[in-house]
Amino acid sequence: MKTFQPIAIGTDEDALKKFKSRVRMKIRFIDELYDYVNKFIEVKDKVNLQGNFYDSFLTMFLDEYKDKFPPISIDKMFEQMEVDIKKIDALCQNIQSIDIPLDSKMKAKEPDFQVYTESEEQNRLFVTIKRLCKDINTLKEHGVRLQGNQLIYGTQQMLSYDWGKQEMIPNTRRILGKDLRG
């Protein structure tokens, strides 16, 4: 018996967009935190701002300024230096809430967002529908115009139309049995 091999039949575009958006948001928070805290202490590497930087900031701030103030509380030091510690805390929490690690170049390792078939039957169906799409698109090159809607409904919506590429493509949701209708 043949061993099942999943086929990549598409990309989860929504998850990919969400991932990229979250990475951009995390970088933006890190940049904002970096710009703000560098007014008070020197941070050499932005990557260090990913972990629990709030505690590190307190330690670094005290190391930098404890000799420049009489014996007063750290809150008074913040007040005198006009440090918005709530802003630092909020930015640190925002950074920590995005659980995507960034490397030293501020890049994230992108997970696999491919959508795969789940059975041999889906593999056969996808290969057949893909071949049908190729044949339909070849007919278009020879001047044969087919009604897209008729083809889509005639195949029980196993086909869909890619408006960007102007061609028929397999409807991966239908192939996987994840149709929106019941």
83-121 confidence digits (pLDDT tens): 999 999 999 999 999 999 999 899 999 999 999 999 999
Global pTM reads: 0.78
* CA dihedral sign, ordered 133, 135, 139, 145: negative
What is the reported pLDDT for 18? Answer: 97
Distances (CA, A) of 20 to 17, 29, 100, 108: 5, 14, 10, 9
What is the reported pLDDT for 1? Answer: 58
Residue 44 CB partners (closer than 8 Å, separation 6+) = none
End-to-end CA separation in angstroms for the chain? 33
What is the reported pLDDT for 140? Answer: 82
* H helices present in 74-157, as ranges: 74-81, 85-97, 120-141, 148-154
Strand-pair category, 8-11 with 114-116:
antiparallel
| Segments of the chain scoring below 50 in pLDDT | 182
What distance in Å separates the CA atoms of residue 158 and residue 114, rounded to the nearest whole number? Answer: 19
Residue 114 CB partners (closer than 8 Å, separation 6+) = 8, 10, 11, 12
Residue identified by tokens 């930098």 is 64
